[in-house]
A and B are shown apart, each in its own frame.
Chain A
């Protein structure tokens, strides 16, 4: 069974650093992109960025470029999302998901499946 298991909930103060994780199992971790998605309280899904663990190629949404760092350790099949200085506005649920890309001559296709269970990050003084 393909599965992504995320690290547990975090409560942090503004200015602190944080690194959350997403461990893949049941498939070749280095052969698929992993994406991170933010969901602020009561709001919709936001595409943050993706990483290809095979070579660490990373793509960020312009909205998140410079705000977070996405990385991966292929030796332990784990992807990470980290902040160097948290803000209250980083309070949200963060999901990782396997990102599959299929390029055809007609239309390209990409989707997220499966998803991790989510990591709730709360930033409050």
Chain B
């Protein structure tokens, strides 16, 4: 089992805002990074660090962190944002770990 906990599924109406969360005690010491994975494709980094977006990632994606919870927010979700989202950080022993993933549906 993962030491980073994500909701298995979340839905959002087109154009609305959605927050995807990742919980784990290690997040008090480590930032989470976030990845988007569409069917049949490799994961893509969308957020890293405190709130950094790689080149090419739309500014509707943002990240935040409070206590043991990291969040990925999509402001104004688009149809192309429908995908699986994974958080990544370290576990309590310092080993790398991914959250279980959240399937985002855009209605």
Contact = CB atoms under 8 A, between A and B. Distances in A.
Interface of A: 35, 37, 44-47, 50, 59, 61-62, 95, 97, 100, 102, 107-118
Contacts of B42: 95, 115-118
A117 B42 CA distance: 6
Given A45-B101, A47-B97, A107-B29, A115 B88 contact: no
Contact of A44 (B30, B50, B95, B100): B100
Interface of B: 2, 29-31, 33, 35, 37, 42-45, 48-50, 54, 84, 86, 88-90, 93, 95-101
Given A44-B86, A109-B31, A110-B30, 12 more contacts: A37-B43, A44-B84, A44-B100, A47-B97, A47-B98, A109-B48, A110-B33, A110-B96, A111-B33, A111-B48, A115-B43, A118-B42
